[in-house]
Amino acid sequence: MLNNPFCYSPSPSIVEAARSLIAHIDATPSLRELFAEGKMLGILEVEVADTSVIPGCDRASRFLYAFSGLAEGSAFVEGFVPPIFAWKPEDIRSASPEESRRLQDWLFEQYIVRNGRGESRSIRQIFADRGLVPPGGTGDCAAPKLLQYALLHGFKPLSIGEFWYGASPAREVRRAGAFYPACTGKCGPLLGYMLQGLDVEPNPLESDAHWQLADPVVRYEDDTLIVAEKPAGMLAVPGRPVPGVPPRRSLQDWLTGYCRGLQVLACHRLDMDTSGLMVFAKTAEAQASIQQQFEKREVTKAYLAWISGADIPGAGSLAVGERGKISLPLAPDWYDRPRQMVDPEGGKPAVTEYEVLRLRDDGSAFLKLIPYTGRTHQLRVHCAHPAGLGRPIVGDRLYGGAPADRLMLHASYLSFRHPADGRRMTFESSFSPGLPGCI
């Protein structure tokens, strides 16, 4: 069964193939120079029924290689699969926006892709079926190139992975050698079509079954509010309904049941992958009071996190007791949501303080993180980005963290004024994710 390209841990065979490919590129000056500025590379392991199809093939399983976009302006590089459709930048140059749109529509009609049922459809039609317009560059990522080549040649896809090679970009979090899921904006609808008819693992992020969720723990309750610990993998509040997909559990729904049907009201958010303390209100007045405290930054929050080791290229050394501040403005990556990126020009200010609490022999570090702003994925990006700590949080699939059963990030401290009487309410929680040395 093919792993799901939107959420996966790479198979051992893909990891080994990636190491071999990196070694080959490093040892080949022309390729090293071609990809040095940074490129997403992809590998697809396929089952080949007729080994004579691929010259020199003497095994039933083979690896196909692809790169995203162009390499120094070229879509063709020896040893990598060809593009779905070859075009030149001058093919779509125009003087007016209207002409540009017309040419983009023409271009995406030329990208005809195959799916596992043997059907074919243009990228423009695939997106139009969902009421969408394909973003520029759709169809040029590594994963669709690999699947297109395999399906056109009758190869059975077995395992897939995409990883970064070369220098890290200034805005996105991309670490050399780290594997990343397929993007949602360009590849979401496209791969959704191409994978039809193939035996593909379900996306574990679309099901509670992946997480083996524990029940939340209520830490405090009165007539005005309730404080609880959210387990990793549980939504904080209900997500948007998707036709045909059962709704996922949320902490807000669980607490409403716990309160015997009294609708509790959300005052703030935690990422689904993050565990820890949250406060909900039982009245609209209490909700407004607590939300106002968050807006005025009168609420104190702290998190505990394990971050990856010092073997990451460019990562600096850390010492127990070290403190520092990270200030990197953040903005959404519109083509790959919910990922965020560093944007010095258009991003919103984001500030995080950190303290190193513990180090392990492998160089991984246990941190206390205090966010002074509440941007989406702020702590995850500030830890992972080279201009921050340069070390992703362990288990962070979006930003290149070391593999783990969960994201090693926990909301451990929450302090606010009680909306009824103004007294200070403070809650603390330990973090014991199963790693040796965790507290």
Mean pLDDT of the chain: 89
In a domain, 303, yes or no: yes
> What total number of domains does the chain contain?
2
In a domain, 78, yes or no: yes
- Is the domain of 258 the same as that of 374? yes
In a domain, 309, yes or no: yes
- Is the domain of 28 the same as that of 144? yes
In a domain, 1, yes or no: no
Which secondary-structure segment (H or E) carries 126?
helix 123-128
pLDDT tens, position by position, 66-75 = 999 999 888 9
- Is the domain of 228 the same as that of 188? no
Structural domain harbouring 410: 207-428
- Is the domain of 152 the same as that of 257? no
Q: Is the previous residue joined to 338 through a cis bond, with omega within 30 degrees of 0?
A: yes
- Is the domain of 247 the same as that of 272? yes
Greatest extent of the chain over all pairs of C-alpha atoms, in Å: 79
Q: Which of 73-87, 203-217, 390-404 shows the lowest per-residue confidence on average (mean pLDDT)? A: 203-217
In a domain, 7, yes or no: no
- Is the domain of 324 the same as that of 378? yes
- Is the domain of 200 the same as that of 220? no
- Is the domain of 93 the same as that of 24? yes
pTM of the model: 0.84
| Residue 393 neighbours by CB distance under 10 Å | 30
- Is the domain of 144 the same as that of 246? no
The torsion angles phi and psi of 17, rounded to 5 degrees, stand at: -65, -35
pLDDT tens, position by position, 274-313 = 999 999 999 999 999 999 999 999 999 999 999 987 556 5
378: domain CATH number is: 3.30.2350.10
- Is the domain of 230 the same as that of 379? yes
pLDDT at 435 exceeding the cut of 60: no
In a domain, 389, yes or no: yes
Active site residues: 271
In a domain, 133, yes or no: yes
| Alpha-helical regions (H) of 238-374 | 251-258, 284-295
Q: Which of 129-133, 160-164, 219-223, 365-369 shows the lowest per-residue confidence on average (mean pLDDT)? A: 129-133
Pull the structure tokens for residue 148.
């297109």
What DSSP designation does 105 have?
H
Q: Let me know: does 343 contact 329? Beta carbons within 8 Å.
A: yes
Q: Domain boundary at 176, 204, 232, which? A: 204
In a domain, 2, yes or no: no
pLDDT tens, position by position, 22-35 = 999 999 999 999 99
Q: Domain boundary at 169, 204, 239, which? A: 204
pLDDT tens, position by position, 175-214 = 899 999 999 889 999 999 999 999 999 887 776 555 556 7
